[in-house]
Amino acid sequence: MALPLGLAVPTAAAALLWWTGRFVAATAIAGAVSLVVGFLLGIILLRTVLSSGYGVIGVARTVVEEAVGTRVPLILLMLVMMGLPALPLVLDPTERLEYRMQFFLNWGLSGAGFLLAMVTLVLACGSVCGDIDSQRIQMTLVKPIERWQYLFGKWLGIVLLDLVLVGLAGIGIYAFTQALRRSPEIDRADRRAIEQEVLAARSSTRPEHPQREDFTKALAAAAAQMEKDDPSSFAADPAGARRRIRSQQLLEWHTVRPDVVSSYLFTGLDRAGAESQLIQLRLKPFAINVGIDRADVRFAMWLNERPFPMRDGRHEEFTFASGSFHTIALPSSAIADDGTLLVTIANRNLVPPGETEATGISFSPGKGLEVLARVGGFEANLFRALVLAWAKLAMLAAVALAAAAWLGFPVAVLTGLMVYVAAMAQGFLADAIDAYTGLDAADASFVAMVRLRSTMLRERLDALQLWEAAKTVASFIADGFLALVPSFGSHDGVTQVATGRLISWAETGWGLLVLAVAYPLVFLVVGWFLLERRDLVNVSGP
């Protein structure tokens, strides 16, 4: 009786705020109430599903009951419940609505994922370590249940609880996004960006060289010339040499010199099935051979050999600040019937003061030049991002259980945190290791890096550079650890949702297979192996 009465006041306040037109504040209060109610209903549902008190199911239900009765997880859960509704209230109302929505989606999904990861770590480590320290595990294992069943039951209970929590977070994020959508925009372009670039799912297409055969022949000729000019260097790492040649040729192709025209072919576009009347060309130009920061670049454009844009019978040019991403709306009618779009760019830069020729324009190969086309909606994209978030929690739960099967609570939590940080920042950590040890892995294969570091280690030992040699050994160990941990960045749906990028079902399925099946299986087997060899009668705490 006290709980419904306690929820009646904030519900009435939310209704009053909605009636007075304060939609964001009303949604924040209503969202907090809804998340609390949803959590309670989710616990009831889990108790019903896990009603059997035997074997794995009984262990799983015990974990759910522990989550309800343990204070630390509940405190973290309350942070999620209160943080999501409060996040829209701290956004600057004078900022573009597009940026506010991207900020909310990015921080809402990232913040909820982090807090739920902490809930998972504390609950998993606390559940197993608490059973061992209090000797409750002996009462459990006296029953006809194996140690692997005990560990799997713990994992099952945690991932089912995480499923409820991720679902609640997703509902809250979606509701607050729709409330923000009703907020006034800055201008018409702001509203168009919200509908077409944020609340959408757009596929990305990178360009191909229009003369693919000639480009391939040029790469082969450059490789042959390098092999002739420097045979020893080429023979040391032929694959690496070819990659460097390809990178140089790609950069040259993506550079538009003064009075030069460059073309980029985009294929696989669906003109007839486009869900939007517009597609976007996203580019990030750089002005080269100029000492002015963020200097403007000017260029003219043709779409399938037709000048674009044409206004009042005149072919207009584009002027953009260099070093920033820009989006150009293109009509889907520009796509040819075979699904191709040829984008031609001509350099129209002026000659800078003190120079003799105009500056060049360069686009970074990859994301520096791409076509984005709407292929789906925001709701399905958000759902797939939540599935990937849950898969990460499933892997983290297995890591925490494996650590707790052998270590005490503090060390087990720290181990889980170390794996979590390594998975979240794997790319950054790998670059930091390379920078710290003076070894660059940007273009090298695994075999090439092992060969390089082995050579460097021998040279440093021969020169008695012991500290540098120690750093090289440390790089082997650190990279070996990172190789054992999956990169969450490879399965990141947060940035894609916030920027309206498509998360495909193939990506989602692969993420589930890797993060929620393969890695948990490995870590649970490791945890079972450790638990089988641990003396649970005389526990002194490792």
Asked if residues 53 and 157 have their Cβ atoms less than 8 Å apart, the reply is no
Residue 283 and residue 384 in one domain:
no
Query: Which percentage of the chain shows pLDDT scores above 90?
Result: 8
Q: Is the pLDDT of residue 69 over 60?
A: yes
Q: Residue 278: its pLDDT value, please?
A: 67
Q: Provide the domain limits for residue 141.
A: 2-200+379-424+510-532
Structure confidence at residue 383 (pLDDT): 93
Nearest to 287 by CA among 347, 208, 207, 369: 347
Whether the full predicted model's pTM is greater than 0.85, yes or no, is: no
pLDDT of 20 > 70? The answer is no
Reported as a pLDDT band with limits 50, 70 and 90, residue 388 is very high
Q: Which range has the top average pLDDT, 145-149, 164-168, 290-294, 473-477?
A: 164-168
Torsional sign, CA 482, 484, 490, 493: negative
Q: In angstroms, rounded to a whole number, what is the distance separating the alpha carbons of residues 540 and 536?
A: 9
pLDDT, tens digit, for every residue of 475-504? 666 666 666 777 777 788 888 888 888 888
Residue 258 lies in a domain: yes
Is the domain of 32 the same as that of 93?
Answer: yes
Q: What is the mean pLDDT of residues 325-337?
A: 84
β-pair type (285-288, 318-321): unpaired
Residue 487 lies in a domain: no
User: Residue 536, SS3?
Assistant: coil
The verdict on 226 and 340 lying in the same domain is yes
Beta bridge partners of 205: 371
- 133 and 268 in a common domain: no
CA angle 89, 91, 94 (to 5 degrees): 120
Question: Residue 364 falls within a domain, yes or no?
Answer: yes
Q: At what angle do helices 426-437 and 466-484 cross, to 10 degrees?
A: 160
Instruction: Pick from 242-256, 267-281, 331-345, 438-452 the range whose average pLDDT is largest.
Output: 331-345
CA distance 462 to 454: 12
At which residue do the structure tokens 């200097």 appear? Answer: 295
Instruction: Report the DSSP beta bridge partners of residue 300.
Output: 346
Is the domain of 193 the same as that of 108? yes
Q: Is the pLDDT at 89 greater than 90, yes or no? A: no
| Mean of pLDDT over the chain | 77
Closest CA to 328 of 518, 233, 167, 189: 189
Same domain, 36 and 68: yes
Half-sphere exposure of 330 (CA within 13 A, CB side): 30
Is the pLDDT at 32 greater than 60? The verdict is: yes
Question: How many angstroms separate the CA atoms of 51 and 61, rounded?
Answer: 8
Q: CB-based burial of residue 442 (10 Å sphere; 0-12 exposed, 13-18 middle, 19+ buried)?
A: exposed
More confident residue, 44 or 509: 509
- For the ranges 108-112, 436-440, 457-461, 506-510, the maximum mean pLDDT occurs at 506-510
- Which of 341, 376, 411 represents a domain boundary (last residue)? 376
Rg (CA), the chain: 28
pLDDT the model gives residue 2: 45
**C-beta of residue 175 within 8 angstroms of C-beta of residue 34:** yes
Instruction: Name the domain count of the chain.
Output: 2
Token pair recorded at residue 210: 């229009």
pLDDT band, very low/low/confident/very high, at 541 (cuts 50, 70, 90): very low
**Residue 394 in tokens:** 């499933």
pLDDT value, residue 513: 93
- Name residue, tokens 């002005």: 287
Three-class DSSP category at 258: coil
Same domain, yes or no: 349 and 220 = yes
Comparing 501 with 425, the larger pLDDT belongs to 501
Q: 392 and 312 in one domain?
A: no
- Within 10 A of 210 (CB to CB), how many other CB atoms are there? 16
Q: Are residues 112 and 29 in the same domain?
A: yes
What lies within 8 Å, CB to CB, of 393 at 6+ separation is 113, 116, 117, 120, 159, 162, 166
Which range is least confidently modeled, 14-23, 148-157, 311-320, 401-410? 14-23
Query: How many whole angstroms from its chain centre is CA 151?
Result: 29
DSSP string, 340-372: -EEEEEEE-PPPPTT-SSPPEEEE-TTTTEEEE
**Residue 537 belongs to a domain:** no
277 and 418 part of one domain: no
Structure tokens at 404: 């707790």
Same domain, 177 and 261: no
Give me the half-sphere count of Cα atoms (radius 13 Å) on the Cβ side of residue 492.
16
Closest C-alpha to 128, from 407, 378, 329: 407
Residue 387 located in a structural domain: yes
Give the CATH number of the domain where residue 294 resides. 2.60.120
327 pLDDT above the threshold of 80: yes
Highest mean pLDDT among 78-92, 239-253, 442-456: 239-253
Handedness of CA 281, 287, 288, 294 (dihedral sign): negative
Spatial CA neighbour of 526 closest among 356, 331, 395, 355? 395
User: Does residue 186 form part of some domain?
Assistant: yes
Least confident of 246-260, 454-468, 487-501, 520-534: 454-468
Q: Round to whole Å and give the CA distance between 207 and 210.
A: 9
- Distance, CA of 62 to CA of 448 (rounded, Å): 50
In a domain, 489, yes or no: no
Q: 389 with 408, same domain?
A: yes
User: Could you tell me which residues come within 8 angstroms of residue 102 by beta carbon, excluding any fewer than 6 positions away?
Assistant: 198, 498, 499
Q: What are 184-191's contacts with CB under 8 Å, separation 24+?
A: 184/97, 185/96, 185/97, 185/98, 186/96, 186/97, 190/96, 190/97, 190/98, 191/97
pLDDT-based confidence at 77, cuts 50/70/90?
low
| First and final C-alpha spacing in the chain | 47
Domain presence at residue 118:
yes
Q: How confident is the model over 331-344, as a mean pLDDT? A: 85
When mean pLDDT is compared across 117-121, 307-311, 445-449, 460-464, the lowest value belongs to 445-449
